[in-house]
Amino acid sequence: MRFFGDTLKAKFISRPNRFTVVCELESELVTAYLPNPGRLWELFFPGARLYLEKADSGGKLPYTVVAVEREDRPVILHTHKTNFVARHLIESGRVPGLVGAVIVKSEVTIGRSRFDFQLEKGGVNIYLEVKSCTLFGGGVAMFPDAVTARGKRHVEELASLAKTGAKCIVLFIVGSLEPDYFMPEYHTDLAFTRALLAVKSQIEVIALGVGWNPDLTLKEEVKTLKIPWTVVEQEAWDRGYYLLILKLTKAKSLEVGSLGVLEFKPGYYIYVGSAMNSLTKRLERHRRLRKKMHWHIDYLRHVCDFRAAIPIRTSIRIECELAEAVKRAADSEIPGFGSSDCACRSHLFYMPQDPLNSRSFHRMLQYFRMQKPIQRYL
Ligand SMILES: [Zn+2]
């Protein structure tokens, strides 16, 4: 099944804002519209291959990004096409529980809410909301990859609609046949996850993997993913660990509390920390500059640019294992930094390049965020 026109291959250069990318097309720099609000960290590496469609004459930018290549396979990014895919899956009887259902209307408005589809099956009214998922790897898919207030509102609205007797479904379409499991992305969007947990007995949650061929046609096969709710219930709390990424532009000697004066090279610093309660607050604290110096990292934070604070929510103790993994991905460590309470040599690591542009860094992150929680429960 075909959902896209002819595409051109380009090389990813940068993403100046959420909906625009700069890429190299036949050795010229062009800008393209990106119809995807996700963070897409693990997909947009410098040089990544993009699939572009020529935009309609009405478009502001000359091209639209349709997909990005990852490990020789296209990952579809064009979220506006998700509902076409959903319609095809429903009409060809591939969505479990919706075989024989008829689409009554798309983009249906009820009160102040809007849902993707209204269907009917055996006299029962069904409302369906579709979400497209691009975050997957190592057998696990998660959604969303950036905070979605809209997604949270949608599942809450579906739950209140379900009270009127309608059947309500949220359908996650995962753009790969590789994963076996799907979970809400509680590390990044705890509010969405808690909202989904709160209503999961009132609405139906379906996660379906689909496959794309290199020519961007949809494969026939679909796969129903398992949703390990016990893992989500156990892990989706405001506690766990984090990686704080800081950027130092110029070399600096710095007095760091009890460690004395240390020399810092320009580049990126990755700090492994823990907050067994109020993890979100801790991350906000690291973002702020004005505060009392309390931890070693506060001294360094003061002279650096904030790059990212990445939470890894979990109920098990992984801090030193995480530090060990970051050490393997990094260039060097700063001895004694942030590790006064444990046996590690350090909890601060150095990389000359931005870790967010490193594939091995993202693989490590996906392991702790996605694979490890599932493995424990198998
Ligand atoms: Zn440690």
Distance (angstroms) between ligand 1 centre and the Cα of 274 equals 10
Q: Which residues pair with 75 in a beta bridge?
A: 68
- The 8-class DSSP code of residue 56 comes to P
Distance (angstroms) between ligand 1 centre and the Cα of 320 equals 4
Same domain, 97 and 227: yes
pLDDT at 57 exceeding the cut of 90: no
pLDDT band for position 241 (50/70/90)?
Answer: very high
Distance (angstroms) between ligand 1 centre and the Cα of 272 equals 8
Same domain, 63 and 158: no
C-alpha distances out from residue 339 to 279, 303, 334, Å: 19, 21, 10
Same domain, 275 and 291: yes
Written as six digits, the tokens of 138 are 């190592």
- Which amino acid is it at 261? V
Same domain, 71 and 84: no
Same domain, 231 and 244: no
- The environment of the single-atom ion ligand 1, i.e. residues with CB closer than 5 A, is 320, 323, 339, 342, 344
% of the chain at pLDDT higher than 70? 100
Same domain, 216 and 254: no
Q: Is residue 2 part of a domain?
A: no
Written as six digits, the tokens of 342 are 């444990």
Distance (angstroms) between ligand 1 centre and the Cα of 138 equals 26
CA separation for the pair 280, 250 (Å, rounded)? 29
Query: What pTM was computed for the model?
Result: 0.94
Q: Is residue 126 part of a domain?
A: yes
- Tell me the CATH number at 70: 2.40.50.580
What are the start-end ranges of the E strands in 96-185? 102-110, 113-121, 124-133, 135-137, 140-143, 167-174, 181-184
CA separation for the pair 103, 119 (Å, rounded)? 4
Distance (angstroms) between ligand 1 centre and the Cα of 269 equals 16
Quick: pLDDT tens for 249-302: 999 999 988 889 999 999 999 999 999 999 999 999 999 987 788 888 999 999
Distance (angstroms) between ligand 1 centre and the Cα of 324 equals 8
* Phi, psi at 296, each rounded to 5°: -50, -45
- Which amino acid is it at 25? L
Q: Is residue 3 part of a domain?
A: no
DSSP SS3 for 274: strand
Q: Which residues pair with 29 in a beta bridge?
A: 24
Quick: pLDDT tens for 183-200: 999 999 999 999 999 999
CA separation for the pair 219, 1 (Å, rounded)? 7
The last residue of one of the domains, among 76, 100, 132, is 76
Same domain, 66 and 109: no
The answer for residues whose C-beta is within 8 angstroms of residue 83's C-beta and 6 or more apart is 106, 116, 117, 130
Domain count, the chain: 3
- Tell me the CATH number at 124: 3.40.1350.60
pLDDT band for position 107 (50/70/90)?
Answer: very high
Distance (angstroms) between ligand 1 centre and the Cα of 344 equals 4
Distance (angstroms) between ligand 1 centre and the Cα of 312 equals 16
The last residue of one of the domains, among 207, 235, 263, is 235
Q: Which domain holds residue 306?
A: 240-377
Same domain, 154 and 95: yes
Same domain, 93 and 222: yes
